[in-house]
Amino acid sequence: MKKVFAEDILRDKVAFVTGGGTGITGGVARAFAEHGAKLAIVSRKEESLIPMKQLVEENGRECLAVTADVRDFVEVENAVQRTVEHYGRIDIVVNGAAGNFLCAAERLSANGFGTVVDIDTKGTFNVCRAAFEELKKSGGQILNISATLHYLATPMQIHVSAAKAGVDAITRNLSAEWGRQGIRVNGIAPGPIEDTEGMKRLLPEGLKEKITRKIPLQRFGRIADIENAALFLASDAASYVNGVTLVVDGGQWLMGTSLA
Ligand code: HXC
């Protein structure tokens, strides 16, 4: 996809990106680096981070790989501290770390439900909370990666729907509380995005064509579509945008097209 933003819109901004090694948030991290940002990418597993670190560095940008489980506040605090020791600041936080699997509500264990809520919702809070002082200093911002699953109802996804509804609540509440401190807080709700591990696992076999016909824009999204939305929200072009979760789904959720 052709680049639509000037390549220096995030020059020297430090972006702390959870889940930034792979998938949609990996694309966002890479796009931020291509537009001038210095990266700290965070994941539970180092092997999820190394290929992205190498790619970013090959392209002449800086990338710190930090292992931390977003469910563990102390690990998150340490990851924030390492980033600040390395770069001296944090300007942008992207909460992209997420858990997901398909499971009917009557078969889902309490721990299965809680695990996804812990990763997505509590993890998002933990990272925002741990980065608050740095974001206050830098006049920074937060971008929470959400979903559209909870706008209507999505069978087999009660855990993720509840978790992402919580993420959206965090976006709104923090935008109100921290906007006063100069921190913008927004979200992005991707629709069906092709070529992601999540979609490969979550999309039932043979349904892609049927779903495509029901998407007003008649195609699945691409990771680049989410990258561009994130670049806009992270840039000065969005300096008066606060408390919004931007839906990037080709109009899919309005049609009530369940993915599961
Ligand atoms: C039912 C499952 C399950 C499954 C795990 N559990 N996988 N239950 N079906 N397929 C249950 C386990 O039985 C256990 O409960 C509990 O969840 C914790 O599982 P663990 O494996 O011990 O936890 P952990 O190692 O922490 O792993 C958590 C995980 C994670 C959530 C399963 O491995 C994961 O999500 N990996 C995928 C990451 C991913 O694809 N992220 C992209 C998300 S895309 P019990 O009771 O047995 O102890 C996304 C987009 C949403 O979010 C929008 C899509 C349209």
Q: Convert the pLDDT of each residue in 155-194 to its tens digit.
A: 999 999 999 999 999 999 999 999 999 999 999 999 999 9
Report how far residue 5's alpha carbon sits from residue 165's, in angstroms, rounded to the nearest whole number: 31
Q: At what angle do helices 110-117 and 158-179 cross, to 10 degrees?
A: 30
Distance set, CA 75 to CA 26, 66, 81, 123 (Å): 20, 10, 10, 11
Average pLDDT value for residue range 48-58? 98
> Higher-confidence residue: 147 or 204?
147
Taking a C-beta distance cutoff of 8 angstroms, is the pair 185, 141 a contact? yes
What strand order describes the sheet that includes 14-18? 63-67, 38-43, 14-18, 92-95, 141-145, 184-190, 245-248
Give the integer Cα–Cα distance in Å for 167 and 189. Answer: 10
Q: From ligand 1's centre to the CA of 139, what distance in Å?
A: 35
Residue 59: the pLDDT is 97
Going along the chain from its start, the domains and CATH numbers come out as 14-248 (3.40.50.720)
Q: Which residues pair with 146 in a beta bridge?
A: none
Nearest partner of 75 among 28, 137, 122, judged by Cα: 122
Task: State the distance from the centre of ligand 1 to the C-alpha of 220, rounded, in angstroms.
Answer: 24
Q: Taking a C-beta distance cutoff of 8 angstroms, is the pair 248, 171 a contact?
A: no
Distance from residue 208's CA to the centre of ligand 1 (Å): 23
pLDDT tens digits along 89-127: 999 999 999 999 999 999 999 999 999 999 999 999 999
Backbone φ, ψ for residue 187 (5° rounding)? -140, 170
- Which ligand 1 atom minimizes the distance to the CA of 112? 17
Q: Tokens representing 251?
A: 């109009």
pLDDT of residue 177: 98
In terms of pTM, does the model score above 0.85? yes
